[in-house]
Amino acid sequence: MISVRPAEQRDAGAAIDVVRRSITHLCVADHQNDDETLAAWLANKTPQNFLKWLSNTENFCVVVESNSRLLGVGVLHRRGEILMFYLAPGAQRQGIGKMIHTALEEKAAQWGMTSLHLDSTALACPFYEALGYQPSGPAVARFGVLQCFPYAKQLQPNYSL
Ligand SMILES: CC(C)(COP(=O)(O)OP(=O)(O)OC[C@H]1O[C@@H](n2cnc3c(N)ncnc32)[C@H](O)[C@@H]1OP(=O)(O)O)[C@@H](O)C(=O)NCCC(=O)NCCS
């Protein structure tokens, strides 16, 4: 069974492994196998930093688990920004990204947010557009050859809260 749950400290090593493999192997169109770009992108993706992000009460971190293996990671910041969103290679196009997004969107609604925003990889643009995001500005150069694509989505008011 595939489930999404809040991340815990014990997940740090496996979660960062998912993130690093996702960037390295799935985001090739973004880093173009440029060594400097990849090194800069991966530089802060360490278990120590994951523990910091997890302990920040402004963040909501989730992982996707299947048969005790982590398949994905998502992090939402309380300012309405999705900071991280990565699946393990081989886990794409099974609805897992959508599951992570639903969990982050539900937390955003609980926090009373009216919109979400993020910087997408080139790879993920069609995914976010399928989830109702719209481009919110021109592509931004990040580092090396990496470009980010800003997106935003208005959330429905949550009248049940
Ligand atoms: C982007 C990513 C999170 C998408 O997750 P996913 O689990 O593959 O997406 P889902 O299966 O939930 O897809 C939901 C819908 O999004 C759209 N979609 C997802 N990936 C797509 C793609 N590569 N091309 C076109 N449409 C896509 C489809 O409409 C899909 O619905 P369908 O499969 O019924 O057609 C995943 O591919 C990933 O981790 N990529 C590498 C890391 C990355 O770029 N992360 C984004 C950082 S900002």
pLDDT per position as a tens digit, 6-47: 999 999 999 999 999 999 999 999 999 999 999 999 999 999
User: pLDDT by residue (tens digit) across 56-80?
Assistant: 999 999 999 999 999 999 999 999 9
- Report residue 85 as tokens: 């969103």
User: CB neighbours of 25 closer than 8 A, spacing ≥ 6?
Assistant: 89
Atom 17 (ligand 1): residue with closest C-alpha?
127
- Tens-digit pLDDT profile for residues 101-139: 999 999 999 999 999 999 999 999 999 999 999 999 999
- On the question of pLDDT at 161 being above 60, the answer is no
Q: Which pLDDT band, with edges at 50, 70 and 90, does 156 fall under?
A: confident
Instruction: Identify the band that residue 159 occupies on the pLDDT scale cut at 50, 70 and 90.
Output: low
**pLDDT of 85 strictly over 90:** yes
Which numbered atom of ligand 1 lies nearest the CA of 26?
Answer: 41
Cα–ligand 1 centroid distance for 94 (angstroms): 9
Q: Provide the residue ranges of all domains of the chain, joining segments of one domain with +.
A: 2-113
Residue 71 near ligand 1, beta carbon < 6 Å: no
The pTM assigned to this predicted structure is 0.96
Q: Which CATH number fits domain 2-113: 3.40.630.30, 3.30.1950.10, 3.40.640.10, 3.80.10.10?
A: 3.40.630.30
Q: What is the 3-state secondary structure (H, E, C) of 91-124?
A: CCCCCHHHHHHHHHHHHHHHCCCCEEEEEECCCC
Q: What is the pLDDT of residue 158?
A: 65
